[in-house]
């Protein structure tokens, strides 16, 4: 089995799902197409896709790293630590921050998927209402 075929299947899976999938979820989906695929082959393929900047890997607070296809434009996320809701931030909202980091530190940032954790508006309201009762 050629690694490039596994790379292609992963890329197509992440394109279709347009979701954040962990390596086990990806492996289980690929086994439906290639039942003989080895789990280590899937991991090596994911590493290669990340290294080639075709796929991003992130910690979304789920306990396992998740993978996502890198689209034409970068995007980033806000993750609510209370309800788990994920909001998308467009890259232009983060770009000035990245530029400042690069300039102030003479450092080239390659991050293509920034994830920030906090509490969403609804959970903040619920927390406030809960403490006032």
Task: Specify whether 77 is located in the same domain as 133.
Answer: yes
Give the chain's residues under pLDDT 50.
1-2, 132-133
pLDDT score of 17? 61
Look up the CATH number of the domain holding residue 19.
Answer: 1.10.10.10
| Of the candidates 114, 130, 112, 48, the residue with the CA atom closest to the CA atom of residue 78 | 114
DSSP bridge partners of 59: 65
Under a CB-based contact definition with an 8 Å cutoff, are residues 79 and 115 in contact? yes
Q: Which domain holds residue 81?
A: 72-133
d(C-alpha 66, C-alpha 117), whole Å: 15
DSSP bridge partners of 77: 88, 115
The residue out of 70, 87, 114 marking a domain boundary is: 70
Number of domains in the chain: 2
Residues 9-28 have pLDDT tens digits of 998 898 886 678 899 999 99
* Structure-token pair, residue 85: 């809701």
């Amino acid at each position: 089995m050629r690694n490039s075929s596994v790379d292609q299947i992963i890329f197509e899976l992440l394109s279709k799902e347009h979701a954040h999938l962990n390596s086990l979820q990806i492996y289980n989906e690929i086994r439906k197409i290639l039942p003989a695929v080895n789990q280590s082959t899937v991991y090596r393929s994911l590493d290669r896709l990340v290294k080639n900047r075709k796929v991003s890997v992130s910690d979304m607070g789920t306990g396992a790293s998740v993978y996502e296809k890198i689209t034409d434009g970068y995007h980033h996320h806000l993750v609510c630590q209370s309800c788990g809701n994920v909001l998308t931030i467009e890259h232009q909202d983060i770009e000035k921050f990245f530029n400042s980091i690069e300039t102030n530190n003479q450092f080239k940032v390659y991050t293509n998927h920034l994830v920030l954790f906090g509490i969403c508006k609804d959970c903040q309201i619920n927390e406030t209402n809960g403490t006032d009762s």
